[in-house]
Chains A and B, each alone.
Chain A
Amino acid sequence: MWALVVLIGAASVSAHLQDPSFDGQKVFRVIPQNDEQVETLNSLASIMEVDFWQPDSVAVVKPKMQVDFRVEAEKSSQVEDLLKESEMEYEVLIDNLQAALDAQFDSKARSASHSYEKYNDWDTIAAWTADIAAQNPDLISRSVIGKTYEGRSIYLLKLGKSGSDKKAIFIDCGFHAREWISPAFCQWFVKEAVETYGKDSVTTTLLDKLDFYVLPVINIDGYVYTWTKDRMWRKTRSKNAGSSCYGTDPNRNFDAGWCTIGASKSPCASTYCGSAPESEKETKALADFIRENLSTIKAYVTIHSYSQLLLFPYSYTYDLPSNYQELNSLVKAASEELASLYNTKYTYGPGAETIYPAAGGSDDWAYDQGIKYSFTFELRDTGRYGFLLPESQIKPTCEETLLAVKYIANYVLEHLY
């Protein structure tokens, strides 16, 4: 686990003379399956500067060996193209080496330190994603699934012990900018995974048998805006043509009954559905990722606040999903699990009748893609503090929610399809 830390340290020393900055440099992890793919790595090393972290030379690489290597920023897309072409299994272990280094050395790059029991601003969360992945390379890897309207990288963490043919559960947070407890939960989830793996049998089994994709903040631009300009902002921060109003409601922007009910066609409205389904770079990135990994993603969970609800499809219609009975029983049980800790009462049911009919939601879209376990959580509270949930409630909220999410994950594991 500390090997990567040592390697980063060693790399920063060894390469220091040539490269004053590691900004944008990527570290890839590949597993060549056969001699042909080993040869691909060899030729890669011959056409550009490749710094092998493990093993330390391309000469000893053999099929089925896990290989980590660093490349310059400008070369990384060429590398990705080559890897894709050769159909070699790969992941981006470190998306930006400079950021990972800064995170370790506690430099000025981060103004506030991360806490799981406080609300963290975006820079702190971004640095944390690099940190947590670097510190737990056997369990976590970080990737970028796209960029926001304002150009920020959308980070995705993949949790799980590496294995073949693993199915996955996708969890996202931070759809709506002002719902600060939501990103706090995603961070908590990751923390619990790394801290209890190998200690708690349920966590260990879940991470051994499944992968968890955790997207800590999807609407990053909006989140930043709530920290800098308007705490009550909800939407993205994209410019709307012909309007002085900004942003689209990302949870009205998916191709699920898009804009037919419970959404507005006005760019100034909080529930503006956008100019078209997936008009937002953020929603498109999420949808693209899910589409690309549809064969492995078996459950979708999206975290919102507030109201203390556990919802399943549909919201764009009052029609019930084909596995309604199953989903209803599942959320009933998950709500009881949640309540078992602090007696927090949740209401559950299909979205349209439980909260309101609303089209364009990511949960409905995921369900219609074939992901038959699709849920929306609306976390604490029921209106006393609403969006402004005190930090003292982060821990209890996350603890109880985790029970429900683990319950659902276990169920999915036992009912894989």
Chain B
Amino acid sequence: RAMELSPSQFPAGRAAAVALGYLRYLRGGPGRALELRELRSARRQDIDDVGHKYYLELELGDVLDKDRTVKCTAEVLYPLESTSSAPDVQVALQGELRSTEQADKEFYNHIRSLEKELVAENIPDSHGNVPPELEPIHLLAWVASGYVIWQNSTENTKFHLAQVKHVRQVKRSDEDLQFDYVILLHEMVSQELLPWQVTVLWHPQRGARVSQ
């Protein structure tokens, strides 16, 4: 009952983008951002009264680790009431991702040591530049956007993070780092640029948590 899809046709690509958003949220951080290297295969199953389920085989990589590829299987279920519920995503990674323990610790200590709260805007800038010291903030925005993309995607949308419009660090009394982002999401089908406010809490051991 599952229909084979061509990876080069858009329905498979959209489902892959949702899986990727979910994974970025789950496994991303200031030292790691996952990208899709290849969509190997896709199938679709229409489940009566439930929704459309996509079965995907992906090859992923860390943007900071060009030589390594990690295989991933994902299931993306778009519910029938897609405008009010997020797609359900299940993923299984085969293989190890490069450890970011050292980079995470350095970033954590650096931000905690700042006298003034970090504020930045337009990452990347108009010409695609990201100052090296802001790259971790940029990658953390991918975690935030991954969450938003996962939560808000339907079969008729495909989102990408276009730019970090604004980011402000908020100092906290507990151990977490907090960043309030305004991100611009580019929606491919409508071609609209949508601003989203997202707050990210992050800790080296606890990882990222997002609240909108």
Q: A residues bordering B, Cβ < 8 Å?
A: 118-119, 226-227, 231-232, 234, 249, 262, 264, 269-271, 307, 345, 347-349, 353-356, 382-393
Contact = CB atoms under 8 A, between A and B. Distances in A.
Top 8 closest A-B pairs, CB basis?
Answer: A390-B128, A383-B160, A270-B191, A388-B128, A388-B124, A347-B8, A232-B193, A231-B126
Interface stretch (B43-51, B74-82, B182-190): B182-190
A388 B8 contact: no
Interface of B: 6, 8-10, 33, 35-36, 38, 63, 124-129, 160-163, 184, 186, 188-193
Contacts of A393: 128
B126 A269 contact: no
Determine which residue in A118, A226, A345, A388 has the highest number of CB atoms from chain B within 10 A of its CB, and name it: A388
A391 B128 contact: yes
Given A232-B184, A270-B190, A389 B8 contact: no
Contacts of B35: 382, 384
Contacts of A389: 128
24 contacts: A226-B126, A227-B126, A232-B163, A232-B184, A232-B186, A234-B191, A249-B191, A269-B192, A270-B192, A270-B193, A271-B190, A353-B9, A355-B10, A356-B189, A386-B161, A386-B162, A387-B186, A388-B126, A388-B127, A388-B163, A389-B128, A390-B124, A391-B129, A393-B128
Nearest to A393: B128
Given A232-B184, A234-B191, 9 more contacts: A119-B127, A231-B126, A231-B163, A232-B186, A271-B190, A347-B8, A356-B189, A384-B33, A387-B162
Nearest to B165: A232
Contacts of A226: 126
Contacts of B162: 232, 386-388
A346 B129 CA distance: 24
Contacts of B36: 382
Contacts of A382: 35-36
A379 to B, nearest CB: 13
Contact of B9 (A234, A307, A349, A388): A349
Describe A's contact surface by its main secondary structure: loop
A392 B35 CA distance: 20
B8 A349 contact: yes
A119 B125 CA distance: 13
B191 A385 contact: no
B18 to A, nearest CB: 13
A354 B9 contact: yes
Determine which residue in B63, B127, B189, B192 has the highest number of CB atoms from chain A within 10 A of its CB, and name it: B127
A76 B33 CA distance: 58
B191 A353 contact: no
A295 to B, nearest CB: 35
Contact of B129 (A270, A345, A390): A390
Nearest to B189: A356
A388 B125 CA distance: 7
Contacts of A391: 127-129
A390 B124 CA distance: 9
A398 to B, nearest CB: 15
A227 B63 CA distance: 29
Nearest to A390: B128
Determine which residue in B10, B190, B191 has the highest number of CB atoms from chain A within 10 A of its CB, and name it: B191
Nearest to A394: B128
B125 A271 contact: no
